[in-house]
A and B are shown apart, each in its own frame.
Chain A
């Protein structure tokens, strides 16, 4: 073997690790850490709640709490998809407001008219979301700014249609939320449906491509992914879920409101973050987000039951949010230090 051959052959990197022995349990646990922390927090909150109030561990309570959390859950589902993509969608606030406003002014007792408008709202949600995605890709703008602008526009349109809270929604639509099947109300079935949806979606090519684009957009692009199409689908789905959130919200409020949406924007991000979805994209599971949504909703119950001013709720939410993020950042650092 000549010097040149030796030289050529030796010129470079590391010994390859034999990756065969055993599954990396510690690594896997660290990855899931934020999610586990969220589960723990939920358990803790439920435990305290249950110790101070009777009837907490019943189906009734589950039905009630899920109904209270469902709007946020729907909004947060769309946001989770966007966060996994590595973006953010601030416009869902506007879409939710607009959805409630259109419903409250257009729904009538006639089922077919109402069905038409409900579908129209959903379609509108998807289309506007798709437009967000298009603007982000074509104009090469940051999602934060684009969705901030479209939030403003949607909010404005909602205010034009219905300047103050009002309108009405047919009683049977409101009643949907209390409809029961096997002792569980519709919100609980919706919760299961959301989980089923996610479990399916994540295994489709589209879902994988969205996750890939969030994990490393450059690599996805080099692999031939059309980033424009990914953005259209991602933000379109977010808009769709926001519209769905609006349709559910009116079962709880019975009326339309041009300003109600903004209360769901940042909480949808918070719920996802608490549940372990990474703000950098590429990782996250809806189960975490839904747990995060439960945590945020139940804090309200807890504050009530502890007989402290309800004003402590935002404080508790903020503190819990910070704790989650610190927990996941510690876990992420530990996980990352094990690579290369």
Chain B
């Protein structure tokens, strides 16, 4: 047990932090721990969690995906346009847009793995290009509202559980399997630790890199469609906030921004922490500006705890050579 704890130290800390935060929030806001409130917190966190799923894979592999905002937004808008408020088109529209998201991811991945474009630049470029293209497409005018089916997925419930929470749970299982129980995960951790060593060990580095961006494009597109269901409408700029929150969730969850370590389970805790903080707002009478300050402080604190300084300190205290 203690071996498990020490190996996954950072993830455990993230969950501990989440619980502490929940309790603190409950003190300031008595109704916070109610079933209905927890339910909506989980729903909101699910959106962050889904986008952050792809981001987690990319970051573990040593990259970063800055194209998340407009992949999300593009999928949202195109879905709204193609469905025109009807449910039936969803049957082909959803797979099409998921494929579209995957395709953007593929482009990102190939740019990074094959052409050696730094991830920051590659994904930044695809982001602004998508932004421009979508703006040209819509001319800035509003789109039809979301089909009812999508709305159900985002807002509806099955047996008391929000559908989206179930979706998130399923995705969490898949991600955990991929990372912990599949060859892909091992390859990914090796790649993120040292691309050279991975290459010399026969790891398919290019393919693995491309896959991470592909997954990220997929989850961003998926989240975009779900978000449209949640708010009933697709609007311009709806993806912007998710860049910061997806990266923050991954960082708070204990992953190293350089790659090679971390796990989606930690990201889940990170997404929850960020969402709970948002709920703390009205409770403490804080403005949205104060929330941003809190976000920043939380990130600094959590990554400091995970960083070398403290790891080294802990090691020395225990007399181990670190």
What does the 1/0 interface line of B135-147 toward A look like (CB < 8 Å)? 1100110000000
Contact of A139 among B132, B291, B307 (CB under 8 A): B307
What does the 1/0 interface line of B120-149 toward A look like (CB < 8 Å)? 111011111101110110011000000000
Q: Please determine whether B132 and A321 come into contact, CB atoms closer than 8 angstroms.
A: no
Q: A150-B300, A156-B294, A159-B288 are in contact. List 15 more A-B contacts (CB 8 A).
A: A88-B120, A140-B309, A142-B258, A144-B64, A145-B251, A145-B299, A145-B303, A153-B292, A311-B136, A314-B131, A315-B133, A318-B129, A321-B125, A325-B118, A329-B116
Residue count of chain A within 8 Å CB distance of chain B: 47
Residues on the B chain within 8 Å of A333, using CB: 116
Residues on the A chain within 8 Å of B309, using CB: 138-140
- Nearest residue, chain B, Cβ from A279: B118
Contact of A319 among B125, B135, B295 (CB under 8 A): B125
What does the 1/0 interface line of A84-122 toward B look like (CB < 8 Å)? 000010000000000000000000000000000000000
What does the 1/0 interface line of B14-31 toward A look like (CB < 8 Å)? 000000000000000000
Contact of B120 among A140, A279, A309, A314 (CB under 8 A): A279
List chain B positions with a Cβ less than 8 A from chain A: 64, 66, 111, 115-118, 120-122, 124-129, 131-133, 135-136, 139-140, 244, 247-248, 251, 256-258, 287-297, 299-300, 303-304, 307-309
Contact of A326 among B115, B129, B131 (CB under 8 A): B115
Q: Please determine whether A153 and B251 come into contact, CB atoms closer than 8 angstroms.
A: no
Please give the distance in Å from A6's CB to the nearest CB on chain B.
35
Q: Please determine whether B128 and A318 come into contact, CB atoms closer than 8 angstroms.
A: yes
- Nearest residue, chain B, Cβ from A152: B296
Residues on the B chain within 8 Å of A150, using CB: 296, 300
The 4 tightest CB contacts between A and B, nearest first, are A159-B289, A156-B292, A315-B132, A152-B296
- 15 A-B pairs within 8 Å (CB atoms) are namely A139-B303, A140-B307, A142-B258, A144-B257, A145-B251, A149-B295, A149-B300, A150-B296, A152-B296, A156-B295, A159-B288, A163-B289, A266-B66, A309-B136, A311-B140
Residues on the B chain within 8 Å of A313, using CB: 132
Q: Please determine whether A142 and B293 come into contact, CB atoms closer than 8 angstroms.
A: no
Q: Please determine whether B289 and A326 come into contact, CB atoms closer than 8 angstroms.
A: no
In this complex, which of B64, B116, B247 has the most chain A Cβ atoms within 10 angstroms of its Cβ? B116
Residues on the A chain within 8 Å of B129, using CB: 314-315, 318-319
Q: Please determine whether B299 and A152 come into contact, CB atoms closer than 8 angstroms.
A: yes
Known: A279-B121, A312-B136, A315-B136. A152 touches B295 (CB 8 A): yes
Please give the distance in Å from B47's CB to the nearest CB on chain A.
19
- Nearest residue, chain B, Cβ from A308: B136
Please give the distance in Å from A295's CB to the nearest CB on chain B.
14
Residues on the A chain within 8 Å of B125, using CB: 318-319, 321-322, 325
In this complex, which of B121, B129, B289, B300 has the most chain A Cβ atoms within 10 angstroms of its Cβ? B121
Residues on the B chain within 8 Å of A309, using CB: 135-136, 139
Q: How far is the CA of A68 from the CA of B248 in the complex (A)?
A: 33
- Nearest residue, chain A, Cβ from B64: A144
Q: How far is the CA of A315 from the CA of B111 in the complex (A)?
A: 17
Please give the distance in Å from B138's CB to the nearest CB on chain A.
9
Q: How far is the CA of A142 from the CA of B308 in the complex (A)?
A: 11
CB-CB contacts below 8 Å: A279-308 with B: 279
Please give the distance in Å from B238's CB to the nearest CB on chain A.
16
Q: Please determine whether A149 and B297 come into contact, CB atoms closer than 8 angstroms.
A: yes
Residues on the A chain within 8 Å of B139, using CB: 309, 311
Is A236 close to B, CB under 8 A?
no
In this complex, which of B133, B140, B304 has the most chain A Cβ atoms within 10 angstroms of its Cβ? B304
Q: How far is the CA of A160 from the CA of B294 in the complex (A)?
A: 12
Q: How far is the CA of A33 from the CA of B47 in the complex (A)?
A: 44
Q: Please determine whether A258 and B257 come into contact, CB atoms closer than 8 angstroms.
A: no
- Nearest residue, chain A, Cβ from B119: A279
Known: A159-B287, A160-B289. A315 touches B128 (CB 8 A): yes
Please give the distance in Å from A211's CB to the nearest CB on chain B.
19
Is A188 close to B, CB under 8 A?
no
Is A157 close to B, CB under 8 A?
yes
Residues on the B chain within 8 Å of A80, using CB: none
- Nearest residue, chain A, Cβ from B125: A318
Q: Please determine whether A146 and B287 come into contact, CB atoms closer than 8 angstroms.
A: no
Q: Please determine whether B124 and A156 come into contact, CB atoms closer than 8 angstroms.
A: no
Residues on the B chain within 8 Å of A88, using CB: 120
Residues on the B chain within 8 Å of A155, using CB: 289, 292
Is A273 close to B, CB under 8 A?
yes
Q: How far is the CA of A270 from the CA of B296 in the complex (A)?
A: 24
Q: How far is the CA of A60 from the CA of B290 in the complex (A)?
A: 44
Contact of B128 among A141, A144, A317, A329 (CB under 8 A): A317
Known: A312-B132, A318-B132. A152 touches B304 (CB 8 A): no
CB-CB contacts below 8 Å: A125-179 with B: 135, 138-142, 144-146, 148-161, 163
Q: How far is the CA of A139 from the CA of B295 in the complex (A)?
A: 18
Please give the distance in Å from A280's CB to the nearest CB on chain B.
8
Residues on the A chain within 8 Å of B303, using CB: 139, 141, 145, 149
Residues on the B chain within 8 Å of A146, using CB: 300
In this complex, which of A151, A153, A279, A314 has the most chain B Cβ atoms within 10 angstroms of its Cβ? A314
Known: A141-B307, A150-B296, A329-B117. A156 touches B128 (CB 8 A): no
Q: Please determine whether A321 and B124 come into contact, CB atoms closer than 8 angstroms.
A: yes
